[in-house]
Structure 1
Amino acid sequence: MDHLLHLDRTLDELDRPCWTPPAADATHLMRKVHALRQVRLGEFGPADLRILISQQVALPYVLPLAVRLLLEEPLLDASFYGGDLLLAAVRAPAAAWALLPDLNTRLRTVITTLPETAVADLPRGGAEELARFVARAESLR
């Protein structure tokens, strides 16, 4: 299924069941995640995708959107630093990536072509996380 065909729909429409409203004492992050589930996929920005991926929300729908951006600009600064969206994506569970083998391959290819200097500029442990993602994907082949 091509999840990019649903850009005019929301996660609440696609990722059933719909979530109930957040609790009155919910954190700012949880209120934000709940609110994002009511936004059309085509309106998500890089920061929104980073949040949803980091919180492991509706990964079959948000990972393709993130990869689409990452293929053009792998070290995109979504919120905090260059590469934060990429690192959020590679931290997604292997089970989520197993549903998206073509995107997994394409992202792995992009990662392997990154200049060493760019990878070295990632926060501590970032280069290792990218290497683990590439190795994990190669072991599935």
Structure 2
Amino acid sequence: MDNKSDWSKTIEELEGIEWPDPPPGGTGLVKAVHNLRKRPINLLTAWEMSRLIGQDVGIPWLLPVALEHLRETATDQSLGAFHDDDLLTAALTRRSLVWQSNPQWAADLKEIISLLEDISPSIREDVRRFFLRADTGATN
């Protein structure tokens, strides 16, 4: 999303698709995703973005916002600030097609990773797989 004024819009508005109410008995995640699509992007927390991105919802609009957030928090990590592992994991684990279709996003995420001084051991394998997918187009 190149225009930050679009960040005041919801995913539903940007997609032009209104989802029906979640099915009765739907999981908490399903209900959350349905509701989060109706919230303006600039009001979503990192955790909420990670939930949506992890479900491949709103990727064209959310991933650029998530990458900006990750870049900002990566530079703060050296100051002892919290870095959002959930959002990083959601971004890292997107399919190869996302990175192949948007090479600048892949380059941005590689740069963000290089800024991190400490990557959680639980995420290191996701980082390795991301580099493999982004560099070779591998599916896993």
TM-score (norm 1): 0.81
Equivalent position amino acid for 2:106 in 1: N
Aligned match for 1:133, one of 130, 133, 137: 130
Q: In the alignment, which residue of structure 1 is the partner of 2:90?
A: 88
Match of residue 112 from structure 1: 114
Gaps of 5+ in 1: 78-82
Which residue pairs with 1:76 in the alignment? 83
Deviation at 1:2, TM superposition (A): 2.1
CA distance in 2, matches of 1:50, 1:3: 21
> Structure 2 CA distance, aligned partners of 1:101 and 1:3?
19
**Which range is displaced more, 38-47 or 126-135?**
126-135
Give the distance between the partners of 1:135 and 1:53, measured in 2 at CA: 20
The one-letter amino acid paired with 2:2 is D
Residue 136 (structure 1) shift: 2.6
Give the gaps of 5 or more residues in structure 2: 75-81
Percent of pairs with identical residues: 30
RMSD of the TM alignment (CA)? Answer: 2.0
Q: Which runs of 4+ in 1 moved over 4 A?
A: none
* Distance in structure 2 (CA, Å) of the matches to 1:89 and 1:19: 23
1:26 aligned partner, one-letter code: G
Using the TM superposition, give the Cα deviation of residue 102 of structure 1 relative to its aligned residue in structure 2, in angstroms: 1.5
Instruction: Name the CA shift for 1:3/1:26 in 2 (closer, same or farther; >3 Å).
Output: farther
Instruction: Answer yes or no: is 1:62 the counterpart of 2:62.
Output: yes
Matched to 1:102, the amino acid is Q
Q: Report how far residue 41 of structure 1 moved.
A: 0.9
Q: TM-score, normalised by structure 2?
A: 0.81
Q: How many residues are matched?
A: 130
